[in-house]
Amino acid sequence: MSKSLKKTTKNISLKKETYQQLSGQLATSLAWLKELIGEKKFESRIKKAARLLSNGIKQKAPKKIRPEKKVSKKKPEIQEPVIEK
């Protein structure tokens, strides 16, 4: 297997994937803003907004499965109070 195939099959973290999706969506939805403020400022602001929106996203570790505890089916015996006469 070549090195280039290894790089493409590598999993991208959830945070990076979200960042890329956000920056793409923001760029397409705010295309009219690019004409007003210029290309360089537009790109830097899109990057900043996508970074702020994707901040704090962490991939959760899978939950560990614990073996179930055996529950005894035996009912506890109830002792009757001793009445002295």
pTM metric for this prediction:
0.54
What is the distance between the alpha carbons of residues 73 and 76, in angstroms, rounded to a whole number?
Answer: 9
What is the distance between the alpha carbons of residues 28 and 17, in angstroms, rounded to a whole number?
Answer: 17
Across 17-27, average pLDDT: 92
| The pLDDT value given to residue 45 | 94
**Rg of the chain, C-alpha, whole Å:** 30
| The pLDDT value given to residue 76 | 66
Spans of all domains in the chain: 12-54
Across 54-61, average pLDDT: 77
| The pLDDT value given to residue 78 | 74
- 55 closest CA partner among 24, 10, 16: 16
Terminal C-alpha separation, the chain: 91
